[in-house]
Amino acid sequence: MAIGFAALGRLSVFWASLGLSLCLLSCAAAKPAALPTYGYDVIARYPHDADAFTQGLFYEDGYIFESTGFWKKSSIRKVELETGKVLQQENLPDELFGEGLVRVGNFLVNLTWTSEIALIFDYKTFELKSYIPYEGEGWGLTTDNEVIYMSDGTPEIRVLSRANLSEIKRIPVTANGKPVEKINELEWIEGEIYANIWETDRIARIDPQTGFVTAWIDLSGLLENHGTVTETSSDLNGIAYDKAAKRLFVTGKYWTHLFEIELTAPKH
């Protein structure tokens, strides 16, 4: 029996819909699931030096430790959380642009952006003791008290020895299989690396074993709705964690405030 044009038409519709059904199955499976995105609640806010170009931030011994960048404005600081008052400060030489900061025992390690040296300061006196060279750019630092994690402007996090900053390995950081650019300030929090992503309002939560971003934190509106936007206020940057009280602090470059935040249920 010959198949008429009408029957052919029905067949083509059938095949087309079958193809669509197959695509819905396979195409959905091929497309990676969106990563959960956490929101935030502001728990408290504290004054922050609006002239501090925040590069490194951590909480230790009841104080905020902060490093600042920019030419002729780079420094390391010990700051009183509640008042934002700078209790202790050491300025970097004018030719250095400061970056990340981490404590290693009796020392503070402070990266420089393009000078390829890490400055080693005494933790208590802030006296500059020595420096250690490295290759490439220096961005963020944190530690899990076993090793040091360093970002350098690439989608990789360097893992360094706490003894001498020698490189142990690199962790390629990916989100849904794509390299994550501009990984900036870092914080080790309960087995994860939290990372500011430069020029965004987002923090990535990174699994240090795989380098996979497991979730995002969207901090858009934080300064606008809870602080003061100024002519100079710039990028979100700076994450600190009070391990004992499980308090999470964030701030930004030239921001008027430092915030304690809590994460809210993720949207998928």
CB of 22 to Ca ion, least distance (A): 48
Q: Which of residues 36-65 bind Ca ion (CB under 5 A)?
A: 57-58
Identify the helix (H) or strand (E) that includes residue 175.
strand 174-175
**HEC string for 141-156:** EEECCCEEEEECCCCE
Q: Which of residues 158-187 bind Ca ion (CB under 5 A)?
A: 187
Radius of gyration of the chain (CA): 23
Stretch that binds Ca ion, among 17-25, 34-42, 169-177, 231-239 (CB under 5 A): 231-239
Which of residues 101 and 165 has its CB atom nearest to Ca ion in the complex? Answer: 101
Stretch that binds Ca ion, among 25-33, 86-94, 146-154, 238-246 (CB under 5 A): 238-246
Which of residues 92 and 102 has its CB atom nearest to Ca ion in the complex? Answer: 102
Which of residues 57 and 248 has its CB atom nearest to Ca ion in the complex? Answer: 57
Residues in the chain: 268
Distant-in-sequence, close-in-space partners of 254: CB < 8 Å, separation ≥ 6: 50, 51, 52, 53, 54, 230, 232, 233, 234
Which of residues 115 and 196 has its CB atom nearest to Ca ion in the complex? Answer: 196
Stretch that binds Ca ion, among 113-121, 122-130, 171-179, 233-241 (CB under 5 A): 233-241
The rounded distance, in Å, linking the Cα atoms of 80 and 258 is: 11
Number of residues that bind Ca ion (CB under 5 A): 4
Classify burial at 242, counting beta carbons within 10 Å of its beta carbon; exposed 0-12, middle 13-18, buried 19 or more.
middle
CA atoms within 13 A on the CB side of 38: 16
CB of 149 to Ca ion, least distance (A): 10
Which of residues 216 and 241 has its CB atom nearest to Ca ion in the complex? Answer: 241
Tell me: does residue 239 bind Ca ion (CB under 5 A). yes
List of residues contacting Ca ion (CB under 5 A): 57-58, 187, 239
